[in-house]
Amino acid sequence: MTIQDPTLVTYLVWAMAVLIIVQTALLVFAISRLLTGLQQLDQSLEFLSQKSAQVLEFADRVASLMEETGRKLPEIEKVIHEMTGSIAETTEKANQALERRLDFLRSQMEKVQSEMDVVLSKFSQQTFKVHGAFLQPSMRLSAIIRAGIITLKQALSREDGSPASHLPEGKGFI
């Protein structure tokens, strides 16, 4: 296949390059949003970890007090149990929240990728159709002109009969 209009091909290649750059920019934006979300979540988990450490220190102090005060042991055990249950519950909630955010971000990235693939595929199809639309009329016009020139040459050669009026095949106008 020969390129009939290199300028059109150049424009289409540039358009495809721009779309790829836009896709890349969207992916970079989405990844940066994901990174920002993960950093915020990391900070939240760091805060939760510090609070957990403080609660564990508190639990250690309570345990030493339990040894000193045997009569309040059942009450203190109940408080410690509630606090550790609260820590475990909070950690589980944070873990579930992180998992939901990651799943959401992953699905959004997949949607963006899918949409960009569809857009680029449709653009490629339309580019092919436009190229064909430009190519077909030019080829038909060229064939009509060649047929006209050959017919005209044959008509002229019959009238004057000179061999100089014959051009070698393939040396026509187009």
Question: Looking at the predicted structure, is the pLDDT value of residue 165 above 50?
Answer: no
pLDDT tens digits for range 70-99: 776 677 678 888 888 888 888 888 889 889
Residue 150 vs residues 122, 132, 161, 174: alpha-carbon distances, Å? 42, 27, 15, 12
pLDDT of residue 43: 92
More confident residue, 112 or 149: 149
Q: Return d(Cα 89, Cα 95) in angstroms, integer.
A: 10
pLDDT tens digits for range 19-59: 999 999 999 999 999 999 999 989 998 898 898 889 888 88
Q: Return d(Cα 63, Cα 83) in angstroms, integer.
A: 13
Q: Is 113 exposed, middle or buried (0-12, 13-18, 19+ CB in 10 A)?
A: middle
Plot region of 170 (φ>0 → left; ψ -120 to 50 → alpha; else → beta): left
Q: Return d(Cα 33, Cα 59) in angstroms, integer.
A: 38
More confident residue, 133 or 167: 133
